[in-house]
Chain A
Amino acid sequence: MPGLRRLYAPQRVAVRTDPRGAPATVEGVAVEAVREEWLVEDRWWTPQPLRRHYFEVATADGRALTVFRTARAQRWYRQRA
């Protein structure tokens, strides 16, 4: 629909991971701590299921960010919510 815009749409972000697969840096800034992580599985009954691994992290410059990795493409996104 023209004029409609998503709020909280995910943005691509560069993330390096540690051996466990958790974020070690987000856009070049070191991750101090992973505060929480969770999995979201949705629309599994459709041809385009959604599976995301979310991490809430605290970065070395003092920000709290929420990032997720898609299961299928293994891409990282940042999400403000």
Chain B
Amino acid sequence: MEIACVIDKRLAIPPRPDHAGGPWSGRADLRDPVAAAEATESMVRALEALGAGVESERPGEAFFALDGLCGLYGGSPAGVLAAARGALGEEKAIATGPTRFAAFLAAGAWPRPVPMAALRTRLGGEREAEGLVEARERLGVETVAAFVRLGTDQVADRFGPRGREALRLCRGEEEPLRPRTPHEELSEEIELPEGTAGRQLDRALELLVDRLLAAPRRRGRTLLGLRLGARLAAGGSWSVEQGLGRPSAAPRVLRNVLAPRLEELPGPATTLRLLAVGLGPPAGDQLELAVGGGEPRRRRLGAAVREVRAAQGAEALLKILPVDAASRVPERWAMLTPFPEL
């Protein structure tokens, strides 16, 4: 499989002067995360419009498989890349490779032999990854090729699970691409008068949630997650993502999860923006015990009882059965009995 990597050069961190290497894409622009997210979204949409299934987990970075697209664009990867370049514009670097890591190295024009610094944004936790890279550099393992030569046992001994993960990455053993499901953007924005704070900000959030839920484009679907963002009066922006745990379209649920995040706003804002990160099944299907009367509630409770019993054993779920609440002897007040099957 041939994978393409696209890097938005405006969002990439340039290589450190003391390190040989290419840009480290995918680091959030801390000063203006909203603009970074918007630029990434428009890049991903442009690729999706070409028919690509796009995976994008870091700002300014996207991956997609070329195989299914060649037939649409002249039968070769070169045709797909030309179409992508045309759709994306000048400031995007694009290259291909047999794995994500290989494509990333090619797009960032990393030198050969590849320095260990290339791994920095490729592993799960960034701080741990940096520690790992620095530890290897101290040990004299300066290139990816030297690291691979260490072998599995030595890497596992010296660097633990994170080291094994890095080794798999360097050997090209990667998980398959996980393209996102293309979705239309559902977002609302509200302008804030100067000096809005405290309760007024809560009220603005309330309005924003109501508007988002009332948007006809939602077509009754639930929300899976939200991104709350603000443009700051002092310049720059702020943004935070909030998952919902389960799909919901209940205004109270949305407000309750978002209100505490407002406290993280670093300063006065001029606009507040709310974006649906993913859309779930229509509201009628969502797991809410109070919806749909007694029968669905009983069915869900029955499923939950069976699940707990299967996981924890038959005795795991009991109910308190009142026996003789008026007795003067406490052990006669109530019994524990197996929770009935529903």
Contacts and interface: CB of A to CB of B under 8 A. Distances in A.
Interface string A57-81: 0000000000000000000000111
B328 interface: yes
Contact of A3 (B327, B328, B338): B338
B334 A40 contact: no
A49 to B, nearest CB: 12
B329 A7 contact: no
A20 interface: no
B330 A8 contact: yes
Interface residues of B, number: 14
Contact of B336 (A6, A40, A50, A81): A6
B330 A42 contact: no
Contacts of B315: 3
A7 B328 contact: no
Contacts of A52: 329
Assign chain A's interface to a size class: 10 to 19
B43 to A, nearest CB: 60
Contacts of B337: 3-5
A9 interface: yes
B327 to A, nearest CB: 8
B330 to A, nearest CB: 4
Contacts of B334: 7-8
Interface in A2-61: 3-10, 40, 42, 50, 52
Chain A to chain B: the 6 pairs with minimum beta-carbon distance, closest first: A81-B330, A5-B336, A8-B330, A3-B338, A7-B334, A6-B331
Interface of B: 315, 318, 320, 327-331, 333-338
Given A8-B333, A40-B329, A79-B330, 19 more contacts: A4-B335, A4-B337, A5-B335, A5-B336, A6-B336, A7-B320, A7-B333, A7-B334, A7-B335, A7-B336, A8-B330, A8-B334, A10-B331, A42-B327, A50-B329, A52-B329, A79-B331, A80-B330, A81-B333
